[in-house]
Structure formats: structure tokens, C-alpha cells
Amino acid sequence: MASTIPVKIEFTGGLEILFSHQRSHKIALPSSDPSTNQPANVGFLIDWLCKNLMKDPREDMFVLEGTVRPGILVLINDADWELEGQEAYELQAGDEVVFVSTLHGG
Amino acid sequence: MQPLHLLDSQVRSLRQQVQSTETQLRNLKIQLQQAEQQCEAARQLEEAWAGGFPHEWINETLAALSPEAHQAVGQESQPQSTHGRWPLESEEYKRYGRQMILPEVGLHGQLRLKKARVLIVGAGGLGCPAAAYLAGAGVGTLGLVDGDTVEISNLHRQVAHGTDRVGMSKVDSAVEYLTSLNPRVNYQRHPYHLTPQTAISLFEQYDLVLDCTDHPTSRYLISDTCVLTSKPLVSASALKTEGQLIVLNNPPLPPGSSNGGPCYRCVFPRPPPADSVLSCGEGGILGPVVGLMGVLQALEAIKLLTAQPSPSSTLEPPKPTLLIFSAYSTPPFRSVRLRTRRADCAACSSVASITSQSLTSGSLDYVAFCGGTSPLDLLPPHARVSAAEFARQPRDGTNTLIDVRDETQYSMCALRGSVNVPWTGDAESWAQAAALREEISAAGKACYVVCRMGNDSQLAARALMERGLGADGGVRHIEGGFRAWREEVDPGWPEY
């Protein structure tokens, strides 16, 4: 039985163009990673987003060398994911994960 | 001649001595800076006192302001005033009174602003409003760095420039505006682009730096220089309808101090791929969005400058945040917690590899670090045509012009009879969309592809050729896009 957890996803700084030009998404994420049988973590979420939510084939605009590309900040519940354990953070129901592409214009 | 191993160890030991002396020197400079700040605070209080501050209050206030400052003043027997009865001139009370009556500013805050030297790098969409508010607030010295000249396409957002100053250096134009706003400020002109070789000696003349530039190259250079010169950095950026703001290297403790604020490299250790970086000219920018970010930079600068100096012993660990603004989101503001200093940061950690020498010698190549973009040159000569040549083609229905700009640009101006198939960034999905258009898939027609600058049109033409679309009539892209069309064929074509 495949249970899911509700997670809020937001893309900003231009990343939304890779996801149907939509900033906010509510997804039902499988509660465990079928390849490892471990609880779903942010690493699994990123892979899941590429396979299930990304409508644009330019995956390298989002993921490079197995993690988010340089210049993208990942925020878990409004904190830099480096404060939360990065890919290893295990998602809880209702968590919000924001992907921010850095801007350079001025 | 001594044996080699002895010479080797001599070199090693000298190198160690040089390194430890450099570290000592750096720490002494920081201590000097802190002592100067405390001395400054004490002096300002003396002046305030001379302006009517009751004598019996001064020790109490000094103690609250900073224990060190108290000692510094205690050693002077007679306070001296250079201003007569009041520490500010009467016009200054009128000019700054509306902010001085706020407890967050007060007389002390105003005196601190007057003593402050702020450097603004970039006199564009961020720098103009930031400079305006800092000049208005009475910052003592305001330095402006920019090597560009004013263009008419700047004016919808770069509020310090004007139509009659198009073509003028941005620094000169901004100083003209700022002088009319507040002639009491000492404006320093630096009308050139910041370089690694000159950045350190420039930053050393200031107390605080605002990054108002528009490229990762300058953002890394400014952050590294702020770390090496121990200056706090207020950094902002904006594109399209969004903006970001971070205060970095605050407090500006020496590399290796974990209580110092993170630098740009702590947050972004690796630069983004060069082709993912969009400029305002390419991506567009809404004036009030970048204006808002520049105003917020001025606000953060005023908060930092008017804050009471606190002795280093009571410094709280930094709580760095990133403010994200998104004009079309609800709510539009989001403030997020950032990491602290990175233990292996190349600039601000104890194992930093970036040094003053590597900057001044020019050995650090910021352009190479961020990756340059070279002009696209994808197609063989027979698949390219100049705008002038295209203008000579018959308009009898034997050819199709495919305009790959997005719908927004296409609806601003387009050539009659052209077909709009916006470039999607991906050859496969674009070619699928193109194949659905009868004008493109029809047999025997020549296809010409055009875009704004002549890059996307190459990608699109190649996508057609690789899939055999339009093969019998031939596929060509128009070199230089509509920019070349305007220059070579139709001067009346809108330039945007």
C-alpha cells in the first residue's frame, strides 16, 4: 500500500518556467522512497519533482551532478536546507519546500 | 653553500613567520578599527554634551553605549566642542529632524550617519534609489562606482538619471541629481568598473558597501573584497518581477571567526551556470521592483550605521536572513533563515584561499570563475542570411518567416505575414510546435528564422534542419535578428 504525504512546493526566481509556469504546487509525495524503502527525504523529493512535476525537458536547469544546480537555494519551512540536513531531511506532512533561483540583475 | 634540506627548512620557517605576522597584522587592523569606532562614539557624545547634554548624564549614557567608550572618554579631562553650542548646524536639525525624532535614530544616530562613509557599487536600478535615500538621510560621504553611461532604456527605473543626461557617465549624472537633493554630502566619483586590482584600496576608504551591480562576477568580487577589508555588505538583486536582499559579512569579523556573518560564497559557494544568468536587458525588469530593493538596501544601511556600537564581548551570533520579494505572489514578501559562515569557505573561513595578494595581483579571474558566454555560432554559412539579404527575398508566398520571440514581444511589433512559434528552450518541443504550422510544414517553401538578437533563431533553425523540416526549400536564420533588421533595413523598427 503506497501512502503519501502532502507537501507544499514553491518555485521562484524564474524556476517556475520549468514547472508549467506555476509557482505554487500542492503535491502528494510517496511517503517512502521505493528504491531504498526509507522515508521520503528531500533528495527523493527532488528526483520525484524531475520525474513527475517538471514539464520542461531542460532538467539541467534544475539538477546538476545529482543535486540542485549551483545558484538554487532550497528552503525547508523558510530555512536554508543546510540548517536542516540538506537531502537527508525527512519530509513531514505539511512541510513547505521552496526552490529559489538567485537573481543577478540590478 | 648550505645543504638543500637546510635551505628548505629555512624557507619553510620564514614562510610560517610571514603567515603568522600577516595574521597578527590583520587582527591588529580589526582591533584598531573597533577602537576607532568606540572612540568615535565617545567623541560624538562629547559633542552632544557640548550641545546641552547635562554633564551628570554623560557617564551614565556612555556606560550604556559601550563600556570601552566610557573608558576612552574618561581619560580625557576636558570635552572639546568644535561646533559651538549644538553638535549639528541649524539647517541640519531642520533637514533631518523628521528622522532624528525617532528613538531609533536620535542625535547620536544622526551624528553616526554624518561620520559614515558608504560605497555604492553600481549606479543603476538599485544604486539610484539607494543613493537617493542615503544622501537624503545625511550620510557624510557617499562613493559611487559605475563605468557605464546613461541610456534611455535605463530611465524607467534608474531614478537619479534624466532624459537630458543620456550619454553622460552614470556617476556624474547621479551626483548631479544627488547634489540637488542634498548638497551637504561629500560625493566621491569612481566612474569606472570595479576591478580585483583596485577593489581593496577603494573599499578601505569606506565603512559600509552596497552591492547594486547586476552580474555574479561583480557579486563575488565585492563580497571577497568586503571580507578582506572587514566591511559589512548590503547586497540586493532584481529581475522581472522579483527581488532578493541579504546583509552579508555582518558582523565583519576576520576570516576564521565563526561569529562573523556569512559572505556571498558561504551562501553560494559555486556560481550558477553562465547560461542560466539573465540580465535585465534580456529578461526584463519592472521599475518599482528594483526600486523597492534599492530602497530596502538604503534602509538596511541606515539601520547598520545608526546602531549603537556594541563591545565585541557581547556580540550575538549572526542570524542571517534572505528577504525574497515577488510582486505577483501573495503575500509578496518572504524572509528566510540562512546558514552561518561555512567552515570551508574560500573567502571567510580559517582555510580561506582568497587573499589580498591574489586580488591585487590579478591572479583571481572572476570572469573565468563565473564562466563567460561566447556568441552562438551554430550554423554553416549556407544556413545564414543577413537582414539586408532577407529584405531582398520575394514576398510572393514562396518563403516563410518564422519569428521565435515570445508572444509578448511578438505582439509589440512583428513583420506582416510572419509566423510566431516562440522558442521553448528545447529543440524537441519547439520543433513539434513548428511542425503543426502549415506554413512551415508545406513542401517547397524556404524557411527564414528570426529572433530579437540572433541566438534563439540559430537554435530553432538547427532544430528544423535536424528534423528535416523545411528541407527542400532550405532553412536559414537571420543574423543579428531584429536588431540587425533595424540597423540594415528598417530604421523605423522599434528598438527595445
Residue A80 has pLDDT above 90, yes or no: yes
Domain assignment present for residue A84? The answer is: yes
A69 has a chain B CB within 8 A of its CB: yes
Judged by CB atoms closer than 8 Å, whether chains meet at A98 and B219 is answered as: no
Give the other-Cβ count within 10 Å of B31's Cβ: 12
- Chain A residues whose CB is inside 8 A of the B271 CB are 70-71
Judged by CB atoms closer than 8 Å, whether chains meet at A70 and B273 is answered as: yes
Strand-pairing partners, residue A98, are A10, A75
Q: Taken in order B99, B102, B104, B107, is the CA torsion positive or negative?
A: positive
Judged by CB atoms closer than 8 Å, whether chains meet at B272 and A70 is answered as: yes
Decide: helix, strand or coil at residue B4.
helix
B215 in a known ligand binding site = yes
Residue A51 has pLDDT above 80, yes or no: yes
- The tally of domains found in chain A comes to 1
CB of B403 within 8 A of CB of B418?
yes
> What's the pTM value of the predicted model, to 2 decimals?
0.82
Active site residue B451: yes
Domain assignment present for residue A32? The answer is: yes
Domain assignment present for residue A75? The answer is: yes
Judged by CB atoms closer than 8 Å, whether chains meet at A104 and B215 is answered as: yes
- Chain B residues whose CB is inside 8 A of the A23 CB are 326, 329
Nearest CA in chain A to B245: A103
Q: Taken in order B348, B198, B297, B324, is the CA torsion positive or negative?
A: negative
Give the residue among B34, B240, B267, B215 at the shortest CA–CA distance from B157: B240
CB of B267 within 8 A of CB of B339?
yes
- Domain with A76 in it: 4-101
A-facing residues of B in 247-286 (CB < 8 A) are 267-273, 276-280, 283, 285
- Chain A residues whose CB is inside 8 A of the B339 CB are 80, 82-83
- Note the pLDDT of residue B81: 45
Q: How many Å lie between the alpha carbon of B94 and the closest alpha carbon of chain A? A: 33
The Cα–Cα gap between A70 and B7 comes to: 45
Q: Give the mean pLDDT per block of 10 residues along chain B (496 residues).
A: 83 90 87 81 64 54 52 43 76 97 95 97 98 98 98 97 98 98 98 96 98 95 97 97 96 92 95 84 93 98 89 71 94 94 94 92 88 80 93 88 95 94 89 88 86 93 87 86 95 93
B479 has a chain A CB within 8 A of its CB: no
Domain assignment present for residue A88? The answer is: yes
Judged by CB atoms closer than 8 Å, whether chains meet at A13 and B239 is answered as: yes
- Note the pLDDT of residue B39: 80
Domain assignment present for residue A106? The answer is: no
Q: Tell me what ipTM this predicted complex has.
A: 0.93
How many residues in total does chain B contain? 496
CB of A42 within 8 A of CB of A88?
yes
CB of B266 within 8 A of CB of B345?
yes
Domain assignment present for residue A31? The answer is: yes
- Note the pLDDT of residue B217: 94
- Note the pLDDT of residue B67: 47
A66 has a chain B CB within 8 A of its CB: no
B128, B226, B280, B370: the active-site residue: B280
Q: Taken in order B483, B485, B489, B490, is the CA torsion positive or negative?
A: negative
- Domain containing A81 — which CATH number? 3.10.20.30
Residue A99 has pLDDT above 60, yes or no: yes
- Note the pLDDT of residue B38: 78
The Cα–Cα gap between B164 and B156 comes to: 14
CB of A6 within 8 A of CB of A28?
yes
- Note the pLDDT of residue B63: 57
Q: How many Å lie between the alpha carbon of B429 and the closest alpha carbon of chain A? A: 8
The Cα–Cα gap between A99 and A23 comes to: 10
Judged by CB atoms closer than 8 Å, whether chains meet at A56 and B213 is answered as: no
CB of B145 within 8 A of CB of B190?
yes
- Chain A residues whose CB is inside 8 A of the B280 CB are 105-106
pLDDT tens profile A4-38: 999 999 999 989 989 998 999 999 999 999 999 99
**How many C-alpha atoms does B90 have within 13 Å on its Cβ side?**
2
Domain assignment present for residue A23? The answer is: yes
A-facing residues of B in 390-449 (CB < 8 A) are 424-426, 428-429
Domain assignment present for residue A54? The answer is: yes
The Cα–Cα gap between B434 and B404 comes to: 10
A20 has a chain B CB within 8 A of its CB: no
Q: How many Å lie between the alpha carbon of A37 and the closest alpha carbon of chain B? A: 30
- Note the pLDDT of residue B216: 92
- Note the pLDDT of residue B318: 78
- Note the pLDDT of residue B27: 87
